[in-house]
Amino acid sequence: MVLANASNSADPAEAMPTAMVFDYAVLAIDPAKGLEPTTQQWFADSAGAVNTTVLIGDQNTLNTALAQKIGTAVSGPEGWTPSSLMYPS
């Protein structure tokens, strides 16, 4: 899946081509709000289909704390490792 910073309009636009190349879903997240309960549930429900998460946005905005929450939410029974997250340069 490709996650984009919803508070910066350029990030979701940048996420679309990346998602198309890899045939990933795109989800825009507002980092100021964090992961809302419905988003966390979506991650949990989608865990079996997620093996790579690409974060599009400033690493200070989509930071390690948010990445940890995302990784934990999609980890499912196999667990989470930092190598499951990528920040494209």
Q: What is the pTM (predicted TM-score) of this model?
A: 0.71
Written in H, E and C, the secondary structure of 16-45 is HHHHHHHCCCEEEECCCCCCCHHHHHHHHH
H or E stretch covering 85 = strand 85-86
The DSSP symbol for 1 reads -
Question: How does pLDDT run along the chain (89 residues), one tens digit per residue?
Answer: 888 888 888 988 989 998 999 898 888 888 888 788 888 888 888 777 777 777 887 777 777 777 777 877 777 666 666 665 655 55
CA–CA dist 40, 17 (Å, integer): 25
User: What is the spatial distance between Cα 41 and Cα 36, in angstroms, rounded to a whole number?
Assistant: 9
Main-chain dihedrals φ then ψ at residue 29, nearest 5 degrees: -120, 135
pLDDT recorded at residue 16? 92
